[in-house]
Amino acid sequence: MGIPSFSFSMHLVLLSILTSLSLTSEAAQYRYHFCSNQTTFSPNSTYQSNLNNLLSFLNANSARETDFYNTTVGQTQTPENTVYGLFLCRGDLATIECQDCVSTSTKEIVQLYCPEEKEAVIWYDECMLRYSNRSFFSIMEDEPSKILWNFLDITEPDSLLQLTLGDLVPVAANASSGAKKFATKETKFMESETLYNLVQCTPDLSSFDCRRCLWGAITNLSNSYGGKRGGRVLYPSCNIRYEVFSFYHIQAQAVAAPPKGKGKISTAIAIVIAVTIAAAVVLVILLYCFRRRKASKKSNSINQVNSGISDGVLNYHAASEVTTLESLQFDFGTIEAATNKFSDDNMIGEGGFGKVYKGVLHEGKEVAVKRFSMKSSQGLEEFKNEVILIAKLQHKNLVRLLGCGIEREEKLLVYEFMPNKSLDIFIFDPRRRSQLDWKTFYNIISGIARGLLYLHEDSRLKIIHRDLKPSNVLLDHDMVAKISDFGMARIFCENQNIAKTKRVVGTYGYMAPEYAMAGVFSVKSDVFSFGVMLLEIISGKRNSGFYLTEHAQTLLAYAWRLWCEDKVLEVVDNFLMESCWTSEIVRCIHIGLLCVQENPQDRPTMSNVVALLGSESIALPKPKHPAFSVDKFIQIDKFSINEASISSMVPR
């Protein structure tokens, strides 16, 4: 009996070796590359010398027992000549296979694809190579990106694809420190067909960022799934792939032959083994019941969020929404620990639906946690709206949602932390306002415009924000504007241009007149809000409350009067006049007045606004009478600091 078992084991080992040899013999298969043409270096420059050294170091280290290596060259020299780089090999490769791929990539990247660019990334089937003049280590990045498809179709459903790849996310993300963040799985989906799945992150990512990167890739793949037999998503920080053939090395399970003279096991040993197995089975059953109970609680919370939504609230692919909620789940204890049990010392803001806290996750990542008030009757509705909406949106000028927490009555949203807080602090605080020049404010204006353009026209969903105001525009460490707070946002169908609601929500001073008075909203409602913000940035004055001054009832009325009197520069804050180009700031005032015209049809679209901001050669039409004021309103039900946010209004 020993000989056949040994023969079978040897057969498996030989089969594994032959498979490995057949894969190794192939050259590295190029898939895609990206070169940033924004920064280039000169031939024979210091940067090129440092880059050559970096590629040499990466190549040399690929010959060691490693599938990942990152390093920096030139730190002691000027920062602009420093080069950061890494390679990542597929987690199942042998060292020789990894070395071959890295060797190929270090040559081809500079010889064939990116000869003079300071920033580049290249993907092969077997490895990825990346370098830049900025540090990107331990930072989750999903741009540049590429989706590649097999040309042939398959009958495999999208839901199975999501499940199989999704099962691998925690396996890869929860790998111990220093281990490969890599996982594979084979799934039978037809009698004669097997789906082969692979996910991988760069090992320098935290488990949280790895999970976030992989789920983003899976969502991206699922959103554009066309029933193909294979597909992959390539990100700088992670990658995923599925095929109906084995494209990675499957570990063969060899059957060991029993040792000589040990053909029979004693009764005592057999009893011990049986008892051990029984105890293990009981333990597994108990653990399974515990996890089912915990999952049931989470599912009930999610189902609660997914039901009872009315008045045009987001109802977009319900099954996909539940999956999104589950994939973004944070454990409540993790968030509580990150915010020091929601300490007042950690509170950084307060709004109508709750409070915002600064938090630090266990891996050191700073986050902002929005905790919804348990007393708010609208908290559940806004929570669902914000999670599902913002999870589907990715843009430089939109705040990034990292996850959410749902436990009993608690509803939490976790965002990337914005160290410079919100735009209103810099507009209306004279001391902070003086820290910025016109160029910075102009970049902020352009960033808000591009973010709105993405929402209205460039994303796969057509979204109306409905509560655009300076406190809902956050600023990162580079003062890049990011639109936030999508709790009141609404999705339009592709051919829908206008909608009406009986429940008006928004903030006094920023709402378009047709929305405030009749509940009619469209992309032009957001354009109006943008125009108000633009004039506030330039003047340093709030539109709401401006009637307290001797100049006019509202900021819009004041700006219009000065425009008609050809004295428009008087609306500009004196501090900005010191650092601006007169023609540029006058053009911005002109654009602002176009955006706040009373008739929505007269207002430009955000694509027009972005074009007008980007080119002085485009002629501007003459603005018409703006909407000076929407009378005075009684504010009820919802308030925020310094601004009255209205959930229902009655004209006085």
| pLDDT interval class at 491 (50, 70, 90) | confident
Give 277-304 pLDDT, tens digit per residue. 666 666 666 666 555 555 544 444 444 4
Count Cα atoms within 13 angstroms, Cβ side, for 367. Answer: 30
- Is the CB of residue 554 less than 8 Å from the CB of residue 628? yes
Helix (H, G, I), strand (E, B) or coil at 372: strand
Average of per-residue pLDDT across 349-363: 83
Give 369-402 pLDDT, tens digit per residue. 988 877 655 556 667 767 777 777 778 899 988 8
DSSP category for residue 153: B
Supply the pLDDT for residue 17: 34
C-alpha separations of 351 from 643, 645, 650 in Å: 10, 9, 22
Burial 525-549 (b: 16+ CB within 10 A, else e): bbbbbbbbbbbbbbbbbbbbebbee
Supply the pLDDT for residue 329: 77
**Two tokens, residue 562:** 């000065």
> What number of other Cβ atoms are within 10 A of residue 99's Cβ?
20
Question: Using N-to-C axis directions, what is the helix angle for 582-595 and 438-453, rounded to 10°?
Answer: 30
User: How far is Cα 238 from Cα 142, in angstroms, rounded to an integer?
Assistant: 8
Any idea which residues carry the catalytic annotation? 467
**Two tokens, residue 560:** 């219009």
- Is the CB of residue 206 less than 8 Å from the CB of residue 138? yes
CATH class of the domain comprising 423-651: mainly alpha
User: How far is Cα 235 from Cα 141, in angstroms, rounded to an integer?
Assistant: 7
pLDDT of 318 higher than 50:
no
pTM for the full model? 0.53
Supply the pLDDT for residue 102: 95
Give 38-67 pLDDT, tens digit per residue. 889 999 999 999 999 999 989 988 887 789
| pLDDT interval class at 563 (50, 70, 90) | very high
Give 593-627 pLDDT, tens digit per residue. 999 999 999 999 999 999 999 888 888 999 998 97
If we measure between CA atoms, which residue out of 383, 425, 455, 470 comes closest to residue 645? 470
For the domain spanning 146-243, the CATH number is: 3.30.430.20
- Is the CB of residue 142 less than 8 Å from the CB of residue 236? yes
Which residue has better confidence, 544 or 582? 582
Supply the pLDDT for residue 223: 81
pLDDT of 237 higher than 70:
yes
Domains 25-132 and 318-416 equal at CATH topology level: no
- Is the CB of residue 121 less than 8 Å from the CB of residue 238? no
Which residue has better confidence, 593 or 458? 593
| pLDDT interval class at 261 (50, 70, 90) | very low
Torsion-angle region of 105 (φ positive above 0: left; ψ -120 to 50: alpha; else: beta): alpha
**Two tokens, residue 49:** 């010398």
| pLDDT interval class at 22 (50, 70, 90) | very low
Supply the pLDDT for residue 155: 60
User: Residues comprising the binding site for ATP?
Assistant: 370
Total length of the chain: 652
Mean pLDDT of the chain: 79
In this structure, CATH architecture of domain 25-132: 2-Layer Sandwich (3.30)
Which residue has better confidence, 13 or 155? 155
CATH class of the domain comprising 318-416: alpha beta
Q: Which of 132-146, 172-186, 235-249, 369-383 has the lowest mean pLDDT?
A: 369-383
pLDDT of 447 higher than 90:
yes
User: How far is Cα 328 from Cα 194, in angstroms, rounded to an integer?
Assistant: 28
- Is the CB of residue 620 less than 8 Å from the CB of residue 329? no
Supply the pLDDT for residue 524: 95
Supply the pLDDT for residue 275: 62
Average of per-residue pLDDT across 472-495: 87
**Per-domain residue ranges of the chain:** 25-132, 146-243, 318-416, 423-651
Average of per-residue pLDDT across 21-29: 51
Supply the pLDDT for residue 63: 83
